[in-house]
Amino acid sequence: KKPFIAGNWKMFKTIPEALELVRELNEASSELTEAEIVVIPPFTALNDVKNTLHSSSIQIGAQNFFWEEKGAYTGEISAPMLKDAGCAYVVIGHSERRQYFGETNETVNKKIKASLAHELVPIMCIGESFEEREKGKTINKIETQITEGLEGLEKKEISQIIIAYEPIWAIGTGLTATPNQAEDVHRFIRNKLAENYGNETGSCAIILYGGSVKPANSYSLLLEEDINGALVGGASLNSEFFIEIIKEAIKAYKEK
């Protein structure tokens, strides 16, 4: 297995800025072959980024979509449109979408089913708030998000889903879960998947950590047994930082 490193660009980068960033990543990609790398630009840049990366092993994801295939849903984008633009992955249920745009475990579930139906790999985001952690409710929150988000899915479908644990209190705040804190939750997620869908599903699951991942902490996080990669936010907007994170992840994986 290789570490899986995804860069979520959020609402940043015009098309020229996006192309400059992926060209810089492309130039370094020969040194980064021991990691699975995904960039997740805004919708407007997807197709141009795909064309720039056409001969690269770096893959592309989208930040969101709507679960219907087509229809009168002004402002929305469907899974077939994402496939058409070159996406292989899609982020579902990011805490910012839950916070600002009314995403719920139920809509996450609909989107996961729709993404799998169109052969897009879902990256399902889960995580607790600072208040929930302080009150000792982290595991309850994670368990509910997993149970409701994955409801009605078969074992073979679960094996195609990537889960990203992103403690909300660590996203964009500069605070990061310690490797031990992150590992505790990752281990719980893996054990829960094993309990619900069988040991093989649990042991093979790709579980990413997200929340202020940067070059200085990626090595120690990725050394943990149940952390298979990272969903990187702000640091992925800088090619130098993102490349450094990938190199640190590769180094950590070799030492596991």
Q: What is the pLDDT of residues 226-255, one digit of tens each?
A: 999 999 999 999 999 999 999 999 999 999
Q: What is the pLDDT of residue 235?
A: 97
Q: What is the DSSP string of 149-176?
A: HTTT--HHHHTT-EEEE--GGGSSSS--
Q: What is the pLDDT of residues 89-131, one digit of tens each?
A: 999 999 999 999 999 999 999 999 999 999 999 999 999 999 9
Closest CA to 123 of 242, 5, 204, 25: 5
* Positions marked active-site: 94, 166
For Cα atoms 182, 184, 185, give the angle at the middle one, nearest 5 degrees: 70
211 alpha carbon, distance to own chain's centre: 11
Q: Which residues of the chain have pLDDT under 50?
A: none
Dist. CA 32–CA 216, nearest whole Å: 18
Dist. CA 210–CA 213, nearest whole Å: 6
Q: What domains can be seen in the chain, in order of their start residue? A: 4-255 (3.20.20.70)
Give the SS3 label for residue 123. strand
